[in-house]
Amino acid sequence: MVPTPNTPKKERHPRRVSGLGELRPAVCTWLRLPSWSWRIPHWLGFFRSKGSHLTLNWHTGEEENVMSEQIRQTESSGMVKAVSVADYIVERLAAEGISHCFGVAGDYAFPICDAVDSSAKVKWIGCANELNASYAADGYARIRGAAMLVTTYGVGELSALNGVMGAKAERSLVFHVVGMPSYQNQRLGKIAHHTLGDGVFGNFVDLSAAAACCHAVINPENCIVEMERVIGEARRNNQPAYIAVPSDYALSPVMSADVKPIVSRSNEAALQKAMAIIEERVNNAKSMVAFPAFTILRLGLQKQAQKAIEELGCPFVTTLMEKCIIDEGHPQFAGLYAGAMSDPKTRRIVEGSDLVLDLGGVNLNDITTAAYSAQLDLSRFITVGLDDVRIGDKVITNVRLTDVLSELAKLKPSSAPYRGTPQALAPVNGSPSDKITMAALYPRYAAFLRAGDTVVLETGSTSLGVTPTRLPDGVGVEAQVLWGSIGWATPAAFGIALADPGRRTILITGEGSHQLTANDIGSMGRFGVNVIVFVLNNDGYLIERALEENPDWTYNDLAPWNYVELPKALGCADWYTARVNTLGELDDAMKAARTSKTGAYIEIIGGKMDMPPVLAFAHSRLKEMYGATP
């Protein structure tokens, strides 16, 4: 149910909203409207302040004249005022299940920031900088299904661009709202700050729009129509949307409009055509394996995917991007597939199957295939994308992933279901006095994690070391494997923890990546987010050292920070902190961190060239990854 305006924020539970189709009945119920009366002016129900009423005829369902009437609300004082464009944008995005807004304030974005700060449904979350805010929004969207990011024109939005582009690559839905200079100043061509000084104000729209799947420049007349179009398209692709608003327009009253919600659904004939072909291929296959893709996680379809796989009875595997998408203790789990770095049995199952069911569009990149070492026959794939199905050279469009999963669960293959032997957790090894090695560290991470934890892995040696390790059931994993922007994990962990405070967020990072975004440890303390942070200090960029012939170039060295003192310096004086050099010290620190009622920060001293096996393998295949030297 959509939360009412009086619901305390601390009592809200994270939820995904897959689109207006799901939201419509909840809204109509809340507003006591018949389902047939759904029209965009009825979104006015989201603008009620406590005890207020709207200037609409709710009982008859009659609407005000479209595109000509200002939307108004009654304040608690009894005064009637028009709803501004900024207020409408914020409350409309709140209706998508968003209750936090990440960003950095700027003068052109002040009207949006004010609307957020005045909202009963959305809390402003100020971040250390715009890049960090975009990473945090990405993390939040992975859990909630959508996130809101606010930056100012030019300098702010461009600083966030890397993080928003990463969200686009990894199918994370971030609504990037940007405050622009006023339309009045734009019309007059005034020279203003945060511009190129040329009187042109559209220089950055195309840049920010390229990081999104859709965009709109909002004014009072198009606000309602464009918001529905942008939300619908962003939901269809599960990628960011860019929403730009001139500052004077943001303060102007929004004009009402009669617009039906855009809901993505399958074409029934296309769905049945696709399923007929899939069923025939399934029945004729002597062997079959399923690949649930990372998009399953982004859309919150894990239960549906698991049900389909269980009904099909086939084994399933994951890549680094789908770690723990379904529990690894599941009897049909056949292992992590990473080309030549796979377990031999896993590799035989995947590369030898007659049919590979790609559920969501698995991303076979240089990382997930272990430097292109996979030997896959793509003609054996059936790829179910978000909005189409590809079978060989045939593409059937207007078929939604969620509908295909439901239909797959109805198939009844004749073969006996696959039952593997679940891999046990790696044994914890080493003596308390031993120095910390990667061979001893990764099993300790696995033993430390428990059901209800969400572990956030930084790009580099961390993600490549932890992901091949069997993790306990009930553990969630988030990593930015494809885009691979170092520094992502620290702010992303902040966003993930805010999105679902009912789970414990564990950040595992390296000091090279951490130096880029460590200032948002202060944001964690400011907003009471009790993340457990592990920082591996191995004297430089290990991932960079591994990915070139000569690991000793000086540009892979780092400033020697005193990491264990960072939480105190950044306002987290009550956090548990420790620097550990031996396995015994690490074991003690892990126990203390687990029982800590506040955040925890553990600096782990590791060897300069001690790398996980996958990274060592990549070092041996530089030519395959980057091409031969001319």
Residue boundaries of the structural domains of the chain? 9-251, 268-408, 438-619
Query: Distance between CA atoms of 288 and 414, rounded to whole angstroms?
Result: 12
Which residues, including other chains, have CB under 8 Å from residue 399's CB and lie 6 or more apart?
A: 266, 267, 270, 271, 274, 384, 387, 388, 389
Query: Distance between CA atoms of 251 and 388, rounded to whole angstroms?
Result: 41
Q: E strands of 117-261, at which residues?
A: 123-126, 147-152, 174-180, 214-217, 241-246
Measured torsion, CA atoms of residues 198, 200, 202, 208, in degrees rounded to the nearest 10: 20
Residue segments in the chain with a per-residue pLDDT below the cut of 70: 1-80
Handedness of CA 192, 194, 196, 199 (dihedral sign): negative
Query: Distance between CA atoms of 474 and 491, rounded to whole angstroms?
Result: 23
Which residues, including other chains, have CB under 8 Å from residue 604's CB and lie 6 or more apart?
A: 436, 441, 534, 535, 536, 537, 580, 586
Residue 70 confidence (pLDDT): 62
Residue 3 confidence (pLDDT): 37
Architecture category of domain 438-619 in CATH: 3-Layer(aba) Sandwich (3.40)
- Rg of the chain (C-alpha set): 25
Could you tell me where the DSSP H helices lie in 388-527? 401-408, 438-448, 461-466, 489-499, 511-517, 521-526
Residue 77 confidence (pLDDT): 58
Q: Please check whether the two domains, 9-251 and 268-408, share a CATH topology.
A: yes
Structure tokens belonging to residue 342: 């796979």
Residue 79 confidence (pLDDT): 60
Residue 544 confidence (pLDDT): 82
Query: Distance between CA atoms of 509 and 458, rounded to whole angstroms?
Result: 5
Query: Distance between CA atoms of 164 and 133, rounded to whole angstroms?
Result: 10
| CATH fold of the domain at 268-408 | Rossmann fold (3.40.50)
Instruction: Report which DSSP code applies to 62.
Output: B
**Comparing C-alpha atoms, which of 175, 155, 110, 163 is closest to residue 133?**
163
What single string gives the DSSP state of each residue in 306-329? HHHHHHHT--EEE-GGGTTSS-TT
What pLDDT, in 10s, does the model give residues 440-490?
999 999 999 999 999 999 988 888 888 889 999 999 999 999 999 999 999
Query: Distance between CA atoms of 242 and 187, rounded to whole angstroms?
Result: 22
Residue 73 confidence (pLDDT): 62
Residue 547 confidence (pLDDT): 80
Q: Which residue, chain included where needed, has tokens 């170039």?
A: 553
Distances (CA, A) of 308 to 280, 287, 407, 418: 16, 16, 8, 14
SS3 358: strand
Correct CATH for 9-251 of 3.40.50.300, 1.10.1520.10, 3.40.50.970, 3.10.310.10? 3.40.50.970
**Comparing C-alpha atoms, which of 511, 564, 556, 542 is closest to residue 608?**
542
Exposed, middle or buried by CB within 10 Å (0-12, 13-18, 19+), for 350?
buried
Strands 476-479 and 316-318: unpaired
pTM, entire model? 0.88
Residue 372 confidence (pLDDT): 93
With b for 16 or more beta-carbon neighbours within 10 A and e for fewer, the 433-447 pattern comes to eeebebebbbbbbbb
Contact at 8 Å (CB) between 174 and 167?
A: yes
Distances (CA, A) of 97 to 27, 194, 224, 298: 12, 32, 18, 14
Euclidean distance between the first and final Cα of the chain, in Å?
61
Query: Distance between CA atoms of 226 and 228, rounded to whole angstroms?
Result: 5
